[in-house]
Structure 1
């Protein structure tokens, strides 16, 4: 990115003309009305009115940094992606962290999942991995996503987030029990962006030069150690320093204390997916590590802060449809919906040419497409032909897909996700609960009870409790007693 030198030369208008007076607007005589001929005044006010773009519907509150990804293991038998082709290879990255439900001005230290969106600037084009700090999510089908987010946002009548809406939806969507158990446990409020893990969350396809297919899940394990806030600590910090996470990330990089993560993947041969005990494409489920142990493949380091937050963080775009050769999607129904939704969100929010902005454009490759014109188009293609095929030269298709085809069968209708042997909504949240120490269980119960107690209707509260009881009898019994104590 070319950074303009603002330290020398006279102040100018947007068009480059010198500004004579930036303190006083032109008037008709001393004390008279302002003149419409004062174009510097009108330009400043008009630009100011347009300085903001629509904030993200979700993940609006965020921070970002540049860094590098370094390969530490040979994975060429699993994928032909060039940025993963040899040990020691480095790829520039940009990582944006965020909360999910809060708006742009919300505090950082809140109980909310954290976005973990990573852009690899590879020599085969940009690869975006859009994940969270949890390995699972609340729902398994993108058709439910707008409804879910509406429950987390402001109520159309009260203008506030309402416990009734949150727990009504979660209670009626038992698939959310696993993620809610994560969210209200100790890791629900990270102490900082540096002290949390990241996950690709979805299942993705890797394919090698021979065309063999593997399903993979990504894990980014923080080398700073996991650190979290209690509900009481977070309440104080959110009021004292709403920018706590952003400030911590920026200042740690300024000090030269570059945060790092150990990158791991779980790898499942494609042939094993059909008979695996859990649906491997269900975003509400994990692959237990005893089934598919994570293997280390690299190191992620953040070492450079953005020069301008609006240009590089607010206008950064990430889309899971940005794949490179050797990596592709899976039948995960949430991922399939996001392949459209993320790109469309940025086309609306930033504009059709958002990919031309410095933070978003490829750095180790050149974009060669026939997309033209639109708002903020910079004319970079000159007079080159804008169609294909043509007989005047220019880019042409390669004939080789980025990922391998998947076999499908059956009828076209509104299918639920296929169920596997242990595919109910309560096995994994129950396992998670039973893994916790007694102190962890008690904090989980306290956090949940404090939130459910704010529900106005007994039936909504009871339905929510019953989902946790189905996960583990002790879980439900203790939660019910805690809620009843708070509700009197």
Structure 2
């Protein structure tokens, strides 16, 4: 991939870069079974000669919000209520009032919400990143890790059965496969978009919106490597706490040749993850062995010294300031600073185009039936009819048959389905402040390359 990026780990055919991987049920607590409905965390730490590079993704390519201010709400709405434990009122209230969240919600309530173990699911970087080559030319990319064992999911009935039989199934399955030397691998693929292609008006969506995908027909996936967990190469952690519990991943851990895009949620995560890790593990968390850059001779555990490292490395012999790693410039807007959204789909029915494509074309009849059943099984636990109506209104905007199927499966209905259709007329603007919604020519795509002015006498 040297034509696209100067990142060392992607620039030599056959090169092996050591990694540490952590899988997680992103929203569920430790007390929850592995099979509970939740996005799955898919995090990769690369130990490169230039330092650590982290990809912090999920088992599907989209997220529930694009506004960083709503990031904490995504997690808190799906976590346990401190007063009465699990609270589906909060979960569906968020989904009902954030229209762009329902693309990811379809994945959550489909069988992808309970994959058949960690080694039977795909992984995705979700955000848009930049790859920069030695000539300071850049492209935008999205990461995909396609499971070589095949992507498989449990049905809701199978997941519930696994709850009782083996609540730690996913961990056990991965551990035993690695110990037995069975294949555990993913084919690493990347979608590439040139800067001049990143025009929302032409694409019909904002390529920096993490609630949207890039169509594979227009931006085909290209292989760039394999992600492999093999007994003779890697190993299971021998002590769960210092390796798994204390591992720390952050989107801000990047290396030369890889940069962030103008995705606002990515920009926020680059700050927020570090702050959380300082709080959770302490300011020296990078000295914990699993977080320590592989090529450094830093300490192996928290609290020890620098193992002979000097405090300052002479730049006369090695240029540590690395002027060649300056970020590639890009235009951000027309000199407008505000909280107003620039997203192409904000407050319009275009918000549902990709979710409708997923429901109408990508999903099979069997997958749609499972989505209806899984959603109704949880929506029936919501105590307030108004939340149910507003959530079904979001589904109605995707496809009225989608909402009708869920409605028909609810055991108790305190409202007529006609009410859902009425409310759906305003569903794209739910949770939106008019003063923050896009208007005028200044609210256009960000991220096109900056023009370098030339001056003449």
- Same fold judged by TM-score > 0.5? yes
1:324·1:402 contact (CA, 8 Å) conserved in 2?
no
Per the alignment, residue 2 of structure 2 pairs with 76
Deviation at 1:482, TM superposition (A): 2.1
Per the alignment, residue 419 of structure 2 pairs with none
Per the alignment, residue 443 of structure 1 pairs with 370
Deviation readout 1:31-76 (Å, 9 max, x if unpaired): xxxxxxxxxxxxxxxxxxxxxxxxxxxxxxxxxxxxxxxxxxxx11
- The 3-state SS of whatever aligns with 1:219 is strand
Per the alignment, residue 63 of structure 2 pairs with 137
Q: Please give the alpha-carbon distance, in whole angstroms, between the structure 2 residues aligned to 1:226 and 1:164.
A: 31
Taking structure 1 as the reference length, the TM-score comes to 0.78
Unpaired stretches in structure 2, ≥5 consecutive residues: 416-457
For residue 103 of structure 2, the aligned residue among 164, 173, 178 is: 178
Q: Please give the alpha-carbon distance, in whole angstroms, between the structure 1 residues aligned to 2:309 and 2:123.
A: 44
Q: Is 1:279 aligned with 2:201?
A: no
Backbone CA RMSD of aligned residues:
2.4
Q: Within 5 Å, which residues of 2 pair with 1:211-360?
A: 211-274=136-199, 275-303=202-230, 304-360=235-291
Deviation at 1:420, TM superposition (A): 5.9
For residue 13 of structure 2, the aligned residue among 58, 76, 87 is: 87
Deviation at 1:186, TM superposition (A): 2.3
Q: Please give the alpha-carbon distance, in whole angstroms, between the structure 1 residues aligned to 2:308 and 2:118.
A: 43
Deviation at 1:470, TM superposition (A): 0.3
Deviation readout 1:277-331 (Å, 9 max, x if unpaired): 2100101000011110111111110122111111111111111101111101011
Per the alignment, residue 398 of structure 2 pairs with 471
Q: Is 1:429 aligned with 2:355?
A: yes
- The 3-state SS of whatever aligns with 1:135 is coil
1:98·1:115 contact (CA, 8 Å) conserved in 2?
yes
2:45·2:55 contact (CA, 8 Å) conserved in 1?
yes
For residue 100 of structure 1, the aligned residue among 26, 36, 58 is: 26
Per the alignment, residue 193 of structure 1 pairs with 118
For residue 399 of structure 1, the aligned residue among 323, 339, 354 is: 323
Q: Please give the alpha-carbon distance, in whole angstroms, between the structure 1 residues aligned to 2:12 and 2:217.
A: 28
1:427·1:471 contact (CA, 8 Å) conserved in 2?
yes
Unpaired stretches in structure 1, ≥5 consecutive residues: 1-74
- The 3-state SS of whatever aligns with 2:229 is strand
| CA distance 1:340–1:474, change in 2 (3 Å) | same
Per the alignment, residue 118 of structure 1 pairs with 44
Deviation at 1:184, TM superposition (A): 1.1
Q: Please give the alpha-carbon distance, in whole angstroms, between the structure 2 residues aligned to 1:206 and 1:394.
A: 25
Taking structure 2 as the reference length, the TM-score comes to 0.83
2:178·2:229 contact (CA, 8 Å) conserved in 1?
yes
Greater CA radius of gyration, 1 or 2?
1
Bigger share in helix:
2
Deviation at 1:365, TM superposition (A): 4.9
- The 3-state SS of whatever aligns with 2:24 is strand
Per the alignment, residue 210 of structure 1 pairs with 135
| CA distance 1:156–1:461, change in 2 (3 Å) | same
Deviation at 1:146, TM superposition (A): 1.4
2:380·2:412 contact (CA, 8 Å) conserved in 1?
no
